[in-house]
Structure 1
């Protein structure tokens, strides 16, 4: 069984409830003889805490376990910083129920105690890397746990693009852009674009066109190890953007090529033993709860 001693606490700023939960969890961990480590931005709004502090990008080097208090967006940011270190991450929800942050703050001590005792399930979630190439040079790159999205930015005009999968031409398209989503992201923005829900254990990507000019353009599910390339038309009149998890933004230009592929390091996501993906879907997406009869 893994021994967790140095516990990183990462919280979403701007929420008194998050601060309260961080304080409560920090006290509990100290009572258990463990070492809470506060992420520096949350530590800055907790005067007099007397705890070890670490920058988010360094948290994976000093923590054995990271606890993210906030919503799924908070966990996405932490995941991109921590995944390469192999440190497991557990999410405590302080907003609406999350697909990633699934521990309720009301029973945080009991659930964290279970995790510390080795009573949990662990999943691997892969991330995507995106690189923007201009005239053979890399001019921008980003990482996403949910998705990589090509979108118009502030423009309202369609984007003309070519899509290649593993070097094979797929189509020329005029649309508002493309969503390239992991299974983790399939219940996020890709879902609102008409994409399918993919179980988190799948090794696959889904490509979802955003308001395509032709109704025959449909989501495509491909192998998770595929290399995707999107080429923006030289004649495209606007300068679209690439967004990773809606948090990292890269400006593109006509003629740019964007390559998207799986990153080598995966996020280790921990859930309580009571976690059930379909139960979360029922709650989050409002599915019927009756069992027939």
Structure 2
């Protein structure tokens, strides 16, 4: 396991000269926002790049002849920053694709909830002034890297910003698995599955399974059972330098899901090994951003009592 995390950076808020735009596909609202943002950035002297799938899917709604487009790897090599227009799902995909290139991400929320996309569509252009003036606040988020092995042979490897979920699949029967942390046996469990979540993912699927909310500054990994057969199996937090292993004992249709966007079918005897990735993501937040204020808004917590 790598304990150095050499790609974690604190200089991700440098003023950008080239900005990549990444949008949710097949959306008229995204096309309009992307057009406005591209023109605004160009007028501010910024070189604008557009992710190729975004360009391909919005080509009928957007005149893209003025802007170069390319793959995520091409964007990673050329962009100083990426602005993601969409919801958290769009942000998750962009984060996994760009993590190794250390490209900071800014989120414009055009989805439903938006725990990671701070800027509303109505405030988009006004917020860009603060961004280009260097007033945004950087925050580093860890990722998980996971390997699926079968008979000691690697069959899949993926990154996850939110979580890695091992579950029962479509058949509906509980699965059996063994959990190990740093090689130490923790438990043998029959359940619908297990969520392995970062602090970023603690407000996603893990939250609906009664997992704890982890502040982004907490360097921990949450292990949250899904409907365990034994009611004494509770969520556990382990350190971000622990290595986690899930061994499938019995699961006819079990699967591993990475951020809910990539799926790998599992067989009896398969192992899913997880650790903190050497790569991290830098999210840039607008001035005045508060994690707890975001939670109050998104989770509809009560407001502060009025003083009499």
Normalised TM-score (structure 1): 0.97
Instruction: Choose from 25, 32, 39 the match for 1:27.
Output: 39
Q: Note the aligned Cα RMSD (angstroms).
A: 1.1
Residue 256 of structure 1, aligned match among 267, 270, 273: 270
Give the Cα–Cα distance (whole angstroms) in 2 for the partners of residues 58 and 159 of structure 1: 41
Q: What does residue 74 of structure 1 align with?
A: 90
Shift of 1:56: 2.2
Gaps spanning 5+ residues in structure 1: where? none
Among candidates 123, 128, 132, match of residue 144 of structure 2: 128
Q: In the alignment, does 2:15 pair up with 1:3? A: yes
Alignment coverage as a number of residue pairs: 291
Of 172, 195, 204 in structure 1, the residue corresponding to residue 220 of structure 2 is 204
Matches within 5 A, 1:56-95: 56-95=72-111
Give the stretch that moved more between structures: 236-245 or 164-173: 236-245
Provide the C-alpha distance between the structure 2 equivalents of 1:207 and 1:59, rounded to a whole number of angstroms: 34
Q: Contact (CA 8 Å) 1:69, 1:93: kept in 2 or not?
A: yes
Give unmatched runs, 5+ long, in structure 2.
Answer: 1-12
Alignment of 1:34-73 (within 5 A): 34-44=46-56, 45-46=58-59, 48-50=63-65, 51-73=67-89
Alignment of 1:75-224 (within 5 A): 75-224=91-240
Equivalences for residues 212-251 of structure 1 within 5 A: 212-233=228-249, 236-251=250-265
The answer to whether the 8 A contact 2:170-2:253 is kept is no
Deviation at 1:88, TM superposition (A): 0.5
CA gap of 1:116–1:214, structure 2 versus 1, over 3 A, is same
Identify the residue that residue 286 of structure 1 maps to in structure 2: 300
**Which is worse superposed, 185-194 or 106-115?**
106-115
Q: Which residue of 2 aligns with 1:267?
A: 281
Query: In 2, distance between residues paired with 1:168 and 1:127?
Result: 23
How many angstroms apart in 2 are the aligned matches of 1:154 and 1:97? Answer: 27
Shift of 1:140: 1.3
Q: After superposing the two structures, state which structure 1 stretch, 48-57 or 137-146, moved more.
A: 48-57
Query: Structure 1 pair 237/78, CA: closer, same or farther in 2 (3 Å)?
Result: closer
The answer to whether the 8 Å contact 1:141/1:250 transfers is no
Report runs of 4+ in structure 1 exceeding 3 Å deviation. none
| Structure 1 residue 109: Cα displacement | 1.4
SS in 1 for 2:139: strand
